[in-house]
Amino acid sequence: MKSSIGMIWRWYDRSIMTYPYLLILVWIVISALTIAFVAKRIAWVIVAAFVLVPAILVWREVASEATKLAAEGRIYPLGDTASFYMIAQVIALSLAFIIGRALRGYRMRPRPK
């Protein structure tokens, strides 16, 4: 078990340094799909705020930093930044899912008479 987790982590660490834009793009697409599956009506606004806004901000930050460092001939140390934001994204997705389910469940309950 430990070796497979270590293998996944090493692959993640290598790929995040090699393909930063691709991984962040996939991350944004997954966020958008989460909105499509979880959100209904008013919950869409809450889920979008939790999910897409951080993803777009990270995309802009990483793109600008990577462009600056590429002009200097250096590589952007994305590993720590992306790890932090991906952990934050998992928390945001969890909150969005809980809020979306709660709002959906609240609307489906019959009104008391």
pLDDT of residue 80: 53
Model confidence over 29-83: pLDDT tens digits?
666 666 666 655 555 666 666 666 666 666 666 667 666 766 777 665 555 555 5
Question: Per-residue pLDDT for 6 more than 60?
Answer: yes
The residue among 79, 67, 71 whose CA lies nearest residue 24 is 79
State the chain's maximal CA–CA distance in angstroms.
70
pLDDT of residue 21: 64
Torsion of CA 40, 42, 45, 47, to 10 degrees: -50
CA–CA separation, 15 vs 21, rounded Å? 10
pLDDT of residue 68: 73
CA–CA separation, 36 vs 102, rounded Å? 16
* AA letter at 11: W
Domain ranges of the chain: 2-108
Question: Per-residue pLDDT for 2 more than 70?
Answer: no
What is the pLDDT of the chain when averaged over all its residues? Answer: 64
pTM of the model: 0.32
